[in-house]
Each structure stands twice: as structure tokens, then as C-alpha cells.
Chains A and B, each alone.
Chain A
Amino acid sequence: MTYEQAASTIAERFSGVTVETGAPLIVSVPVDQWRAFAQFAKESLGCRFFNFLSAVDWKDGGLEVVAVVDNLDDNVSLRLKTRLAPSPAEAGHDEAPRCASLVPVFRGANWMERECYDMFGIVFEDHPDLRRILLGDDWQGHPLLKSYAVDTPHPPYR
């Protein structure tokens, strides 16, 4: 498995997915194919090592979930991206952005997705244990969003 083979296999199997060639391969996946693509990357491309998962807040452009999965046998790395709805503060409503969870595919995604929920407020559907991981249970808001103001007070300590 080389990068070229991986890119052509992805192009055959997934039509809505765009691939930027290079190392690592940057793969933009539609939200509804997110878990199916991860399953495909694990089983067909041999990317069994789940490296990390995080998110980027592009304000009006929505939230982007980024995950890196690696094929350690063939030194192939995939950077998966998917674009979600903007955060509630940007969009002006209460609906949290939603994304399919990767925990059924990669168990290592569990804490990464909890951290992502903690910091960005992204709700991962079918996650077994979606609650805050780093901040306290009584925390208000999601601090890594661009709409979270610097020096937000937190009584009684801040």
C-alpha cells in the first residue's frame, strides 16, 4: 500500500470524498460518511493506529473535526476532515453540532471525543460515555470555541 494506491482506492469507493495527494493524505469526508470512511480506512487501507482527533472552529464556516489514522506497517498516514454546522453562538440557535462517533471503530477515540465535546461542544452520536473529561462537571460553555470570550468569569475563583 502506497499513498497513490490509497488515493485511488478511496476514489473508487467513495464518490463524495475529496483527496489531496501528499503525505499525509488529506481526506475531506462528508459528515454522513464519517464513520463508514473510518471503518473503510481501518479495514481496507490498514490504518489501524488511531493517532488523534481534534477540531477547528472556523466561525461562520462551521466546526471541522480532524482525525489522523496511520497504517504503521506501510508508513501511510491519513488526515481525515469533516465539516459540521457552526457552533450555536455563531449560528444563533441552541442546536449543538453533531457528528458520528468513531468509538465503535477505534476505541482510542473515546477520550479524544470527550475532550472534543468538552472544548468545542460537538455532540458525538453513539458515543458510550459523552461527558466532560478535563473541565469540571459544572462548567458553563466550551472554552476553545472562538466565541468564548477571554477572561470569562468563573465565580468564586475567577
Chain B
Amino acid sequence: MAVKAPIPEVPAPVWRSFKDLQEFEALRQQRPEGDKHSATFESLTEGIHQFPGGFVVTTLADTFFNWARKSSVWPVTFGLACCAIEMMATFASRFDVERLGMVPWASPRHSDLMIVSGTVTIKMAPMLERIYAQMPDPKWAVSMGSCANSGGPFRHGYHVVKGVDRVIPVDVYVPGCPPPPESLLNGLLLLQEQIAHFRRTGQRAAPNEKVD
């Protein structure tokens, strides 16, 4: 019988040769903390704050902006594994995160929260980092499930990142394997609490003490 000719060789794509990736890497080296720390904004705020009676303005403005931020958190739908099923259940009608003002959105450029739901592999980590970098500041990240928290059952696998906090800064960790929608809702409420106390200082909020 006839044996088909071998398939012609296609050159392998070299990931690092993409130009926008190189630009992104240069930007990341330059500003590892992202746009959270704005020197101009900070000096302006500091000026108003030092003005007699100015602290009322800054505190009120902070409170107002934080109220607005926490009332419309738009999570980017970033499902990696089985946790994504629970995340979808949370987004759907039975648990309904829209009553918290959250709109699951399929674009990082319109979102300010990333729910990392699932195992992060070494191959996926640069993409995750890049999607996180595409989100406008201020932005938050929730690590959902054992895999995203610490690597979970795959911690000693050769290809798994031992926790997504080695790739991006994380604000709330939701334990569970996978966490039920109630757990994720609790995590999102804790996140809203953190956002309410958000200050543009370049520092992350202190972790919530009471988690139950």
C-alpha cells in the first residue's frame, strides 16, 4: 500500500521573539508594581491633605471612590480548571454575583478583578502575567482553590507553579478543592471589604484577619 509523504517541517515559534512580549518585559522590569503607585497623584493628594482642612476632602474622596470601586467590581473570566465550573455557578443565576455589582466580563481591558480559578502551569504563567498586566489599575486578584493557592494536589508535579502568588500579587485566597460558590462569595465579600480600605500607596491592603 502507498505510504503518504511525511509532513513538511514547520519552524517552531520562538516565544521570546515576539516584539510586544519584549516590550511588555521591559515595562515590567521598569515598573514591577504596575500603575498602583502614581507619584504625581500622590504629591497632589499630599498637597491637598496638608492644606488646612484638606484632609476632609481627601478622606471623603477616598471613601467615595472606594465605594464606587467596590460596588462595581468587574471580574475577568479566567477559568483554568475545575474551579472554573464553581466560578461559573457563582456567576450564574442561583448564586448571582451581579447582586454584588459584579459583571463577569470576558476582556481583561475592561476588568479590575482577576479570579484565578485552577491550576497554573509553567506554560500558562507568562500568559497569566500578561493578561494581568493588560487590566487597568487599580486591580485585584483572587486566588481560588488549592491549586491556585499553593499548587494543591499537583504541587510536586514538574509543570505546576506552586501558587499563583509567585506570578501575580494576590489579595484574597479562597481555600477548597474546589471551593463551593458560597466560599467564593465569601472571598469576594472579603475582597470588597479590602477595596473599601484601599489607599493609593503602592502597598497592598493588609490581609483580612477573620476568615470563617
Please report A residues at the B interface, Cβ cutoff 8 Å.
Answer: 43, 103-105, 107, 110, 126, 128-129, 131, 135-138, 143, 148, 150-152, 154, 156-158
Contact = CB atoms under 8 A, between A and B. Distances in A.
B167 A157 contact: yes
B12 A137 contact: yes
A150 B156 contact: yes
A105 B166 CA distance: 45
Nearest to A42: B1
Contacts of A148: 158
Contact of A135 (B3, B4, B9, B123): B123
A42 to B, nearest CB: 8
Nearest to B11: A131
A135 B121 CA distance: 10
Contacts of A107: 4
Interface of B: 1, 3-4, 6-10, 12-16, 122-123, 125, 156, 158-162, 166-167
Contacts of A152: 158
Nearest to A119: B158
Given A143-B158, A152-B158, 17 more contacts: A128-B6, A128-B8, A129-B7, A129-B9, A131-B12, A135-B123, A136-B15, A137-B13, A138-B15, A143-B159, A150-B156, A151-B156, A156-B166, A157-B161, A157-B167, A158-B160, A158-B161
A107 B123 CA distance: 27
Given A135-B159, A148-B158, A158-B162, A128 B7 contact: yes
A152 B160 CA distance: 11
A150 B158 CA distance: 7
Looking at chain A's contact residues, the main secondary structure is loop
Of all A-B residue pairs in the complex, the 9 with the closest CB atoms, nearest first, are: A128-B6, A143-B158, A157-B125, A157-B161, A128-B7, A150-B156, A157-B122, A131-B12, A136-B123
Contact of B9 (A128, A138, A151): A128
A120 to B, nearest CB: 13
A34 B47 CA distance: 79
B18 to A, nearest CB: 13
18 contacts: A43-B1, A107-B4, A128-B7, A128-B8, A128-B9, A131-B12, A135-B123, A136-B15, A136-B122, A136-B123, A143-B159, A148-B158, A151-B156, A157-B125, A157-B166, A158-B160, A158-B161, A158-B162
Contacts of A103: 6
Nearest to A148: B158
Contacts of B7: 110, 128-129
A34 to B, nearest CB: 16
B150 to A, nearest CB: 12
Contacts of A154: 122
Nearest to B151: A158
A88 B3 CA distance: 33
A111 to B, nearest CB: 11
A127 B182 CA distance: 51
B165 to A, nearest CB: 11
A82 B77 CA distance: 47
B12 to A, nearest CB: 5
A92 B3 CA distance: 38
Given A128-B7, A157-B167, A137 B122 contact: no
Contacts of A151: 156
